[in-house]
Amino acid sequence: MTTMLVRKAGDRMHSTHGWLDSWHTFSFADHYDPRFMGFRSLRVINDDTVQPAMGFGTHSHRDMEIISYVLEGSLEHKDSIGTGSVIRPGDVQKMSAGSGIAHSEFNHSKSELVHFLQIWIIPDKGGIKPSYEQIHYPVADRAGKLKLVGSNHKQDGVIHIQQDVQLYATVLQSAAQRVEHKLAAGRYAWVHVAKGSVEVNGKTLSAGDGAAIAADTGAAEVTLQGAPEGEALLFDMP
């Protein structure tokens, strides 16, 4: 048996700071809702839009897997372990904060907005050595398929996540494109619609919507289909 709970985009918590417009799927900073403290090991999905040449000044993190997924524009990253990079659509960037890291994130453009998702996953162990990875996945690699972009199993071409989570990305370019994911018994999925609209297990979700799916008894299937077109992330976790 499969159960699914939908969290609509408009029901998320919202912050505006002039230079930043942010929607929080789960409790974050001054926004607290005991019903939405995260889902399994998934702690944060912030849907952020940052004004040109503005951003988050240097700040610190510990013991968190932090993933950035850019939807539009470009995001500049610098950190205390010497990494400097620009993240653009198609890039998946992961920073393992581990024993402690400081970083900053700014809109790389002086004229265009940057729109991105920042995702936090609670690691399975604390105090690891901080690290950074960034991999580009062209649309062709994600179109009409579920592309594995993050995993706790180290492998070429996949971001390593310090937690039992498999992260998939898909771009569905028409209603004819459909992907399926087998969810093992006792595991859970969170689907986040990043752009457009996607039909998730027969229910149409729009950008910013999320769905929690549980394989209650036996294996379950998660199906995503363009409605008519959209982009989504799927997290598979215990």
pLDDT in tens, 137-194: 999 999 999 999 999 999 999 999 999 999 999 999 999 999 999 999 999 999 999 9
Give the pTM. 0.97
Q: What is the pLDDT of residue 1?
A: 64
> Domain 2-237 falls in which CATH fold?
Jelly Rolls (2.60.120)
Two tokens, residue 170? 């898909």
As a whole number, mean pLDDT of residues 33-46 equals 97
Question: Quick check: 134 pLDDT over 70?
Answer: yes
As a whole number, mean pLDDT of residues 104-128 equals 98
Any idea what the Cα angle at residue 46 is, between residues 63 and 61, rounded to 5°? 25
Question: Quick check: 217 pLDDT over 80?
Answer: no
Cβ of 180: how many Cβ atoms within 10 Å?
10
The lowest-confidence range among 23-37, 135-149, 206-220 is: 206-220
As a whole number, mean pLDDT of residues 193-200 equals 98
Question: Quick check: 233 pLDDT over 80?
Answer: yes
The lowest-confidence range among 12-21, 43-52, 91-100, 208-217 is: 208-217
Q: How confident is the model at residue 86 (pLDDT cuts 50, 70, 90)?
A: very high
Q: How confident is the model at residue 61 (pLDDT cuts 50, 70, 90)?
A: very high
Q: How confident is the model at residue 105 (pLDDT cuts 50, 70, 90)?
A: very high
Q: What is the pLDDT of residue 220?
A: 87
Q: What is the pLDDT of residue 4?
A: 95
As a whole number, mean pLDDT of residues 42-47 equals 98
Q: How confident is the model at residue 218 (pLDDT cuts 50, 70, 90)?
A: confident
Question: Quick check: 3 pLDDT over 90?
Answer: no
9 phi and psi, to 5 degrees?
-55, -40
> What are the extents of the domains in the chain?
2-237
Question: Quick check: 89 pLDDT over 70?
Answer: yes
Dist. CA 236–CA 183, nearest whole Å? 7
